[in-house]
């Protein structure tokens, strides 16, 4: 008998996220508090729900999803703690989990041909551990290398979304349609995600100011390729209507979000193109999380289920 979605561990994570966000947290999108629900959504739902896309169906997926959702709950509880020691301690299960998943992702490369798609899928398991580490630093409530706590939190969110959904869907597209566009997208994202983080660090310390706009440009070019591939998947008539709609919404949302990111990344060169920081996490962040990430993963999962069903 097929288990109802909301009785699966990702389904419970999604239900918990809805309660946490709209009953307990109650943030407005233009408040810094909105960053946390965006980050929690990746931990409680997007990552556990995408296990089959990253590794394929296996008997360990249910156990892994259960552990991941549990660690994500601990992460959420860390933001409800007044004592720094408890706040830091409750982030550690998530950090350990992401570190284990990163090592496991690297080990999968031993059994594949190291195509651009394989590397992108593996990096979707590796990049989030950097975000988890920055979350632990954030909860220490101390300046990290002089960075404002808000920047530390935004960096953690960057590696939980741009470091996860972008390489994940770039890799999936490259595996399904290995052509020049999908391979370029994978390589640009593999370079762009760390380059953006490095560029923000360089800008903060006042050195090599060209790194940030260069990194953003590389990442945006890769993301535009992913957006085009997602839209292309949605135009393939052999897919179900809802899957096609999910792919198109995902691609269009990513395209809009990354154009905003390009404007923000070039803010020192062309100030009029940039939104403010609160506008960026309210619009760019929301488009990436729900439009691109959620709709894209739902579309790919529906395709996966259709392929594996008898």
Report how many domains make up the chain.
1
pLDDT band at 294 (very low <50, low <70, confident <90, very high): very high
pLDDT band at 102 (very low <50, low <70, confident <90, very high): very high
Report how far residue 60's alpha carbon sits from residue 73's, in angstroms, rounded to the nearest whole number.
Answer: 20
Report how far residue 153's alpha carbon sits from residue 36's, in angstroms, rounded to the nearest whole number.
Answer: 8
User: Taking residues 265-294, what's their average pLDDT?
Assistant: 84
Report how far residue 4's alpha carbon sits from residue 237's, in angstroms, rounded to the nearest whole number.
Answer: 28
Q: What is the pLDDT of residue 56?
A: 62
221-235 pLDDT, tens digit each: 999 999 999 999 999
Q: What is the pLDDT of residue 62?
A: 64
Domain coverage including residue 32? 5-308
Residue 60: is its pLDDT beyond 50? no
Residue 99: is its pLDDT beyond 80? yes
Report how far residue 55's alpha carbon sits from residue 69's, in angstroms, rounded to the nearest whole number.
Answer: 17
Q: What is the dihedral of CA 41, 251, 101, 123, to 10 degrees?
A: -140
- Please, is 46 exposed, middle or buried when counting C-beta atoms within 10 Å of its C-beta (0-12, 13-18, 19+)? buried
Q: What is the pLDDT of residue 75?
A: 94
Helices (H), the chain: 9-19, 35-41, 47-49, 51-55, 61-78, 84-108, 116-139, 149-161, 165-176, 180-205, 211-234, 241-265, 277-279, 285-286, 295-308
Contacts of 96 (CB under 8 A, 6+ apart): 71
Contacts of 142-149 with CB under 8 Å at 24 or more apart are 145/201, 145/204, 146/204, 147/204
User: Taking residues 200-218, what's their average pLDDT?
Assistant: 80
DSSP annotation of 144 reads: B
Task: Count CB-CB contacts under 10 A for residue 3.
Answer: 9
Q: Do the Cβ atoms of 164 and 122 come closer than 8 Å?
A: no
| pTM of model > 0.85 | yes
Q: Do the Cβ atoms of 35 and 285 come closer than 8 Å?
A: yes
Mean pLDDT of all residues belonging to the chain = 85
């Amino acid at each position: 008998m097929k288990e109802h979605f909301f009785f699966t561990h990702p389904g419970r994570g999604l239900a918990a996220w809805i309660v946490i966000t709209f009953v307990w947290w109650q943030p407005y999108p233009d408040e810094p508090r909105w960053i946390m629900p965006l980050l929690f959504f990746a931990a409680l739902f997007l990552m556990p729900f995408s296990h089959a896309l990253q590794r394929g169906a296996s008997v360990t997926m249910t156990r892994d999803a259960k552990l991941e959702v549990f660690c994500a709950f601990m992460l959420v509880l860390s933001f409800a703690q007044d004592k720094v020691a408890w706040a830091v301690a409750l982030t550690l299960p998530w950090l350990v989990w992401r570190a284990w998943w990163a090592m496991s992702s690297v080990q999968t490369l031993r059994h594949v041909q190291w195509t651009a798609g394989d590397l992108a899928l593996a990096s979707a398991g590796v990049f989030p551990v950097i975000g988890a580490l920055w979350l632990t630093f954030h909860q220490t409530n101390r300046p990290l290398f002089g960075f404002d706590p808000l920047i530390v939190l935004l960096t953690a969110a960057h590696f939980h979304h741009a470091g996860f959904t972008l390489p994940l869907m770039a890799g999936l597209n490259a595996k399904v349609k290995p052509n020049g566009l999908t391979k370029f997208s994978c390589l640009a994202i593999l370079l762009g995600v760390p380059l953006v983080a490095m560029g923000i660090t360089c800008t903060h310390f006042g050195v090599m100011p060209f790194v940030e706009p260069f990194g953003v440009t590389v990442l945006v070019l890769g993301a535009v390729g992913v957006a085009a591939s997602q839209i292309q998947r949605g135009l393939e008539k052999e897919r179900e209507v809802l899957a096609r709609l999910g792919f198109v919404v995902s691609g269009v949302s990513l395209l809009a979000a990354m154009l905003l990111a390009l404007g923000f990344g070039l803010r020192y060169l062309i100030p009029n193109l940039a939104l403010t920081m609160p506008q960026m996490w309210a619009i760019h962040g929301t488009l990436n999380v729900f439009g691109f990430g959620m709709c894209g993963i739902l579309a790919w999962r529906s395709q996966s289920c259709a392929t594996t069903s008898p």
